[in-house]
Chain A
Amino acid sequence: MRTLRFLLRKEFLQIFRDRFMVALMFVMPIVQLLILSNAATFEVKSAQMYVVDRDHSASSRALVDRLRASGRFVVADASPSMALANDAMLARRVGMIVSIPADFERDIVRMRTATIQLVLNAEDGAAAGVTRSYATQIIASYANELGASLSPAIVAGPALEVRARGWYNPELDYRDYMVPGILVQLVTVVGTLLTAMNIVRERELGTLDQLIVTPLPQSTFIAAKLIPLWVLALVELSLGLLVARFVFHVPMRGNIALVFVAAGIYLVAALGIGLFVSTLVNTQQQAMFVTFFIIMIYLLMSGLFTPIRSMPAWAQMLAQLNPVKHFIGVMRAVLLKGASARDVVQPIAALLMFGVVTLTLAVRQHGRRVG
């Protein structure tokens, strides 16, 4: 125990004297948090629309008007030429083309049915899908309006009224969803990357050999390497949560203690991975690359950026083995949904198992490399 105290002192002294580490632990996360929380949104604002109206009837104009009045579409340009419209889309001046054929109104009056064309720029992906569903909804309700106006004798009243509510995020604010995930990412980077680099640094400089030759037990060495970063990662998490609460107003509806319990256990696994990586490489540069690679895969497959529910079955199964996934689950459940201990027992148990397994494997690997 006494030796551990000496080593912990050395580790803390070294960490705080190392500008690189301090910057990585405090500057990078803050910058990332600020940028990510503002940039990481898929919200669709208004779309630029090109109108190709060959009908020029009251109905066609009314349709365009409905789209415009919804606030989601802005008429950027209009002409009878589809070629010009396509060109505008190629040049990225518009995101959607609405093409109304020449017999639109006539078809509606006579046959009660007409067809229009929507062309969307899917270059930016999911946004196009959202835009399409807005447009089709507006058009469908206009169709209802037309139906009611054409047949006033019929009782105009919807048969079904649907009230829709979104829970936990009524404002549909992306930040509430992304910020907990970002905090997880930051803590992971600090825990895994810095652990790996820290240990590899000793190997690179040659000080590791000097320590091996002493009667220092391996367990003390490892404990001294992992404990300071464990503490610092938790400190960083606390700071991050404070920022999330008071700067971004992310709700904290559940018991925060649960978050810290999950974080403490999760970090054991994260640090273990860092320790494991340190046994695979010889230079700090390699440590950085390998760790980034591993972290990247973990984070991408964890449900942080894309929902796990959308992944194919095999990916969802693999996600169960991903400690990040469980940790994010706990964070979001506790912060956004106000989950209690009973609700998150399962992910926390999973985290515990991962922590134990990862650490054991890593320690054994370290022993093999060093001995």
Chain B
Amino acid sequence: MNPNALAISAHGLTCRFGSFVAVDHITFDVGAGEVFGFLGANGAGKTTAIKMLIGLLAPSDGEARVAGFDVGTERAQIRRNIGYMSQRFSLYNDLTVRENIQLYGGIYGLSDAQLRDRTAALLESLGLSESAGDLVGRLPLGWKQKLAFSVALLHEPKIVFLDEPTGGVDPITRRQFWEMIYAAAARGTTVFVTTHYMDEAEYCDRISIMVDGRIAALGTPAALKAQYEVDTVDDLFVRLARGATVTA
């Protein structure tokens, strides 16, 4: 893989809180246009790792590059090239759908014309054209998540980071989500998604599994399943989480 085509590359990335090591020297790459699943149990360090990659936390050790820029020193450039959907819903509940879209469009520097067109397109594709003037707080959870995802992609970033995007939504909405993710990947956007739904791992190009702050497995779902002689990624995860070694 051409190193210049790497969307994300991390090398020995570490984050320490006092004596507690949340992320322990992880090393991995994500190629441009990939759908990369960053898996692990709750508390394994996924969110901390993501926060380092998007510049919310400073690494204690190691290095990483996102969109070609260093996460320690070139955060401003990174921010222009990424989109982010956090685990907690973080659009404004007391603003309307349209107002939220316009706010973030404006922050990312879209021109008035671009803003107009993309807002219309977004509303159309989500089926929210009639609810554009409703307060976001009134929308059901599934719609809110989809809106947050679309807003993260509004400025057509090279890479989008999704932290547990499908938490708490119904299976149909989850399906729709992954259709949206594939559509984004097809356009060339790199998608870095964390989840604790192991079945969603099957949808990814490559996955990594974090256990206790370390990457315990890294590769395509098929290859890993073969390597560990399990049928599903779920079984794979259980095996790793229990600390079992690879059987010969």
- By a beta-carbon cutoff of 8 Å, the part of chain A in contact with chain B is 2-3, 5-7, 9-10, 13-14, 17-18, 205-207, 209-216, 371
B17–chain A nearest beta-carbon distance, Å = 16
A215 touches B94 (CB 8 A): no
Q: List 14 contacting pairs A-B, 8 Å CB cutoff, sorted by A.
A: A3-B109, A6-B103, A6-B106, A10-B95, A13-B94, A14-B92, A18-B94, A207-B91, A211-B107, A212-B56, A213-B54, A214-B107, A215-B107, A371-B58
B56 touches A215 (CB 8 A): no
B93–chain A nearest beta-carbon distance, Å = 8
B106 touches A213 (CB 8 A): no
12 new A-B contacts at CB < 8 Å, known A209-B90, A213-B82, A213-B84: A3-B106, A5-B106, A10-B95, A10-B99, A206-B88, A206-B90, A207-B90, A207-B91, A207-B92, A209-B86, A212-B56, A213-B56
A214 touches B104 (CB 8 A): yes
B102–chain A nearest beta-carbon distance, Å = 7
**Bound form: Cα–Cα A207–B85 in Å:** 11
Contact string against A for B residues 14-38, beta-carbon threshold 8 Å, 1 for contact and 0 otherwise: 0000000000000000000000000
- By a beta-carbon cutoff of 8 Å, the part of chain B in contact with chain A is 54-56, 58, 76, 79-80, 82, 84, 86, 88-95, 99, 102-104, 106-109
Residues of A within 8 Å of B102, CB to CB, are: 6
B84 touches A210 (CB 8 A): yes
B58, B82, B99, B109: the one contacting A13 at CB < 8 Å is B99
Q: Given A215-B79, A215-B109, A216-B107, answer yes or no on A210-B86 (Cβ-Cβ < 8 Å).
A: yes
Residues of B within 8 Å of A210, CB to CB, are: 84, 86, 90-91
**Bound form: Cα–Cα A143–B60 in Å:** 86
Residues of B within 8 Å of A13, CB to CB, are: 94-95, 99
Q: In chain A, what residue has the closest Cβ to B84?
A: A213
**Bound form: Cα–Cα A223–B80 in Å:** 21
A6, A9, A14, A215: the one contacting B76 at CB < 8 Å is A215
B103 touches A215 (CB 8 A): no
A209 touches B95 (CB 8 A): no
A3 touches B107 (CB 8 A): yes
B82, B94, B107: the one contacting A6 at CB < 8 Å is B107
Q: In chain B, what residue has the closest Cβ to A210?
A: B90
A326–chain B nearest beta-carbon distance, Å = 37
Residues of A within 8 Å of B104, CB to CB, are: 214
**Bound form: Cα–Cα A6–B82 in Å:** 20
A209 touches B103 (CB 8 A): no
Residues of A within 8 Å of B79, CB to CB, are: 213-215
